[in-house]
Structure 1
Amino acid sequence: MLGTSKSIFRRLLFSFLATVLVGLGISGILLSFFAREYIYNSKEEELLRMAKKVNVAIHDSNRVNKELLDKLAMLDESFDTRIWLFNKEGKIVATSMKDEVFTGKSVAVSIADNVLKGKNAVTELKIEGLEDPMLSVSVPWGEGEQVYGGIILHAPIEGIEKTFGQMRESILWATLFGVVLSTAMVSYLSWSISRPLRTIERTAAEIGRGNYAERVQVDTHDEIGDLAHTINTMAEKLEKVEQERHHLEQVRNDFLANVSHELRTPLTAMQGFLEALQDGLVEDEEARQKYYAVMYSETMQVNRLVDDLMDLMKLENNEVNLAKFPVDVAEVMNRVAFSFRQEAEEKGLQLVVEAEAELPRIYADKDRVAQILKNLLKNALKFTTAGEIRMTAGLQEQWMRIQVQDTGMGIAADDLDRIWERFFKVDRGRSKNNKGTGLGLAIVKELVELHDGVCRVESVPGEGSTFTILLPIMPVSPVSLVKQGP
């Protein structure tokens, strides 16, 4: 990350410096160009105005005499500029300075020709004996068609160039200041960007190592803040996925352990009885029949486990297709209760079935509804040793409420949320006395939800449990649909 920080610093520094240098450079060039043009134009216009005023003052004088020289000297002091007069031959015949050494020198022929034709001339004069160029304006000397020569007013270019030099120096200092300021700004911006990036990098590394509880602590509200929020959201999802993976792994391990246990118990019993029969240890026919009965019972237990597992797997994989028709719940309840009545009587239990009058039908799979009730009754008979088991049906708003109530051992509060899990048994300490696969209630939950229903349980330890199944009742149906019922 340090290399990234340095890279960001370099890129920002070069970008800012290039922007400042190019911007100030272009601005300086344009400013110098336009300023030079403006100063030159202003000076030229000013000199032209002065030259015309000089001509107004001396246009009636065509000879160089003391009076003319005095006027030139006076105008020199008034305008603070040098004044030269040249004749038609282009020779300087008079100057505003008495000790002027350029008297008798010649001006450029092109300038003299233009002025004698009545035109103004603006140029950088190169006068014989004058090393430095001068900004000069030339106007005709005279009035109308009477031209005696020309009037030249000039100002040294050196002063203007000095002004340009000062401007360039100011621009240079401004550029240096901009470079220093840019460096300071780049350092701050680089720090403000690289600091949260380093935080994000450290957090991402922790997440990469599997620490999905790590979060990025960035308070900025810009793109970096959005990146931090995205990484935090990703970490939350990964944490949930990891938790779900651990849960599924635990479920898988529990599943394998439970299946192994449920299979080992009957297989071990059958193995022992078979070895005894093979070794001839059981000679009495009555004893052998008992051994056969036990082995048959254990075989049926394994068969029930396999059937329950297959049903649960199909339900969880959405491989069960319901054959839905209008179902009379009371008729199914009585039929299921009849198949368990003998078992209940053998245990000294009273099995009661109650259903409200004129109950509407439900649109469901009749065999699967019967399977739900059988599993609930089987569970109630398993854990009830005295009292009664009551199976009731009634309306609850838009639901058909089916309840299986027993007076058995009850369920502890800590186990209420887990009884719907596969292989979970509330009688773990007495599993040898009450055999079962631990899949019955898990199948009930899957079947009820497949019918878009709800299953609940209420229990008081030592007093009994009440299982409630809510299934949606049929809406008002056409006559033809009602005739399809059993």
Structure 2
Amino acid sequence: MNIYLEKGRQKLQWVIRALHRFGLRIKRLLQEQFNKNLYTRILFTNVTAFVIAFLVVMLFSSFVVKQVTYDQIQQELLREAKRVNFALLQQTDSPWSVPFDQRSNSQVQAQAQQDFLKYLAGIFDAKITIFDMTGKITATSAEQEMVPGSQIDNKYIQILQKGLISTTRSVDPDTGQPIFAAAVPMGNNKGSITNGILLETKSSNLDLALSKMRFYMLLGGMVILLFIIIISVYLAMYISRPISRLTANVAEISRGSYVLSDRDQPLDEINVLGGQLNKLAERLQKIQTESSRMEEERTRLFAEISHELRTPLTAVQGFVEAIRDGIVQDEAVQGRYLDTIHTQTVHICRLVDDLLELSRLESGNVTVERLPIDLNALTQGVATSMEPVANRTNTSILVRRKSEKAMVLGDADRMEQVIRNLLKNAIRATENGAIRIGVENRRGNVLLSIEDNGIGIAPEDLPHIWERFYRTKNQRDNRIQENGSGLGLVIVKKMVQLQGGNIDVVSQLGKGTTFHIDFPAFEQK
């Protein structure tokens, strides 16, 4: 016996595990279908919501209809009981309060009473029972109840003893159908209650009516479900179609084809998303264009740097090889070679320094202090320090102060570097001439001008002087200035802009060049 029980338990556990695995598989399948795409998600959600709502409505409506029908039946049964009481009161010759087995000529009277009650029962479609306050049945419309000592349920006697008129509902244990009963006192209620009337009926048509109602509701639900499926599919297509187009646009953007969508979408949200994608495409296109430009600029910069470094390095290499191989024996010639090597080395160092300085300026890694600076004093100091260099070309530097105070906000070191670079260029372009530096306040700005009467700049060169590695030709001897790196003016312009100023240039070939720099004036309070 124990072996059979153990085998049965093992089989039961196996069945439970199999059902559990099957349930997990079904759950996983439903989740995969639900998350598959927009179609299945909308369809599954709408159908599930409708089925749940439909079942709830069906159960609730069945309950409500059943309760309302029960109440109507009970109220109608109560009215019928009162009518039966009125009809029995008209039968004054029938002793309803005496049990049929205690009456004289009981068979005749009992038969007459039962026939009358059957007549009333046929009219009201209910079983009628008359009983006294002890619970004994004195008369009934059902023949099988007419046995000596028949009793009714004690609850009806308690209802009448309390002076109440009530209806009750119970269930037939054999058929399971509801039984409705109404108990009322017999008589005109003027005296004590001696008898009661009990009406009982079975609503055999109620279950049929409820079944028909459920059938029609189910049929209507199937029609509505079909309509919901059609609407869900249409809605999913209506929503997913513009999303598919946006997906195609995103794919084009990822491939580098920035195609802008100018078609209005049917949904506001899709329009907003499409607009954002268009902005993203425009931004990516600008980034790509800028990246291409920067790449070209980087390539050109590398080429320019290579060119700028190759010339002095080639010269240095040639002179070093000549000295190392003993080709040059004359000490004077060796001295000139060494001077050239030194000059080219200095030029390379200056070029590297300018490149590093320009790189820091363009990357934004240069910090600028904004402190009050007296531009008169700063200009005078730089001019004084540059006079020995200018004297080598028989050039004088004149500083003209047109204002007592010329205060600006800036970085003294950067400002000095700007003035020094411009003075170097002016000295390099001027021989046997004069350089004039002017500082004045004009309409809320401090104007700094550096003017020379040197060789000037050709009109075709003037637009390009702010470009990297661009150097003008010396028209006097038709050669490129040897000492310039082509980065000085680029660095000057960026430093001026970094301190909130503007720089401009005016030049005439053979007459000289004037640089104008203006900064916002700083007014001390």
- With normalisation by structure 2, the TM-score equals 0.69
What is the SS of the residue equivalent to 1:468? strand
Q: Match of 1:42?
A: 72
Identity of aligned residues (%): 27
User: Is 1:114 the counterpart of 2:156 in the alignment?
Assistant: yes
After the TM superposition, which of the residue ranges 462-471 and 66-75 deviates more from structure 2?
Answer: 66-75
Q: 1:91 to 1:425 in 2, by over 3 A?
A: farther
User: Is 1:59 the counterpart of 2:107 in the alignment?
Assistant: no
Give ranges in structure 2 of 5+ residues lacking alignment.
Answer: 1-32, 95-108
User: Is 1:267 the counterpart of 2:313 in the alignment?
Assistant: yes
Encode CA deviations 1:279-336: one digit per residue, 9 max, x unaligned: 6665666655554544443333223223323444555532788998645145146426
Q: How far off is 1:127 after superposition?
A: 13
Q: How many residues align?
A: 460
Is the CA contact 2:121–2:127 (under 8 Å) kept in the aligned structure 1?
yes
Alignment equivalent of 1:433, drawn from 480, 496, 508: 480
How far apart, CA to CA, are the structure 2 residues paired with 1:410 and 1:402? Answer: 23
Q: Match of 2:492?
A: 444
Alignment equivalent of 2:387, drawn from 338, 351, 372: 338
Encode CA deviations 1:383-414: one digit per residue, 9 max, x unaligned: 6899986543221334321123467234559x
How far apart, CA to CA, are the structure 2 residues paired with 1:118 and 1:166? Answer: 38
Q: Match of 1:482?
A: none
Q: 1:224 to 1:90 in 2, by over 3 A?
A: farther
How far apart, CA to CA, are the structure 2 residues paired with 1:131 and 1:373? Answer: 112
Is the CA contact 1:91–1:105 (under 8 Å) kept in the aligned structure 2?
no
Q: How far off is 1:183 after superposition?
A: 1.3
User: Is 1:139 the counterpart of 2:184 in the alignment?
Assistant: yes
Q: How far off is 1:48 after superposition?
A: 0.7
User: Is 1:360 the counterpart of 2:406 in the alignment?
Assistant: yes
Q: Match of 2:37?
A: 7
Q: 1:36 to 1:279 in 2, by over 3 A?
A: closer
After the TM superposition, which of the residue ranges 279-288 and 178-187 deviates more from structure 2?
Answer: 279-288
Q: Match of 2:203?
A: 157
Q: Match of 1:470?
A: 518
Q: Match of 1:317?
A: 365
User: Is 1:408 the counterpart of 2:408 in the alignment?
Assistant: no
Encode CA deviations 1:224-275: one digit per residue, 9 max, x unaligned: 5665566555555555554554444444333332222111111222333444
How far apart, CA to CA, are the structure 1 residues paired with 2:186 and 2:329? Answer: 161
Q: Match of 1:484?
A: none
Q: Match of 1:483?
A: none
Counterpart of 1:434, as a letter, is Q
Q: Match of 1:393?
A: 439
Encode CA deviations 1:142-185: one digit per residue, 9 max, x unaligned: 4544646635364x513333332232123213321331232123
Q: How far off is 1:443 after superposition?
A: 2.1
Q: Match of 2:353?
A: 307
Q: 1:35 to 1:145 in 2, by over 3 A?
A: same
User: Is 1:203 the counterpart of 2:249 in the alignment?
Assistant: yes
How far apart, CA to CA, are the structure 1 residues paired with 2:487 and 2:42? Answer: 66
What is the SS of the residue equivalent to 2:502? strand
What is the SS of the residue equivalent to 2:197? strand
Q: How far off is 1:126 after superposition?
A: 6.6
Q: How far off is 1:473 after superposition?
A: 4.2
Is the CA contact 1:5–1:190 (under 8 Å) kept in the aligned structure 2?
no
- With normalisation by structure 1, the TM-score equals 0.73
Q: How far off is 1:440 after superposition?
A: 0.3
Is the CA contact 2:185–2:193 (under 8 Å) kept in the aligned structure 1?
no
How far apart, CA to CA, are the structure 1 residues paired with 2:80 and 2:168? Answer: 13
Alignment equivalent of 2:46, drawn from 16, 20, 25: 16
Give ranges in structure 1 of 5+ residues lacking alignment.
Answer: 95-101, 478-486
Encode CA deviations 1:334-354: one digit per residue, 9 max, x unaligned: 4266345446658xxx97654
Q: How far off is 1:36 after superposition?
A: 0.9
After the TM superposition, which of the residue ranges 160-169 and 307-316 deviates more from structure 2?
Answer: 307-316
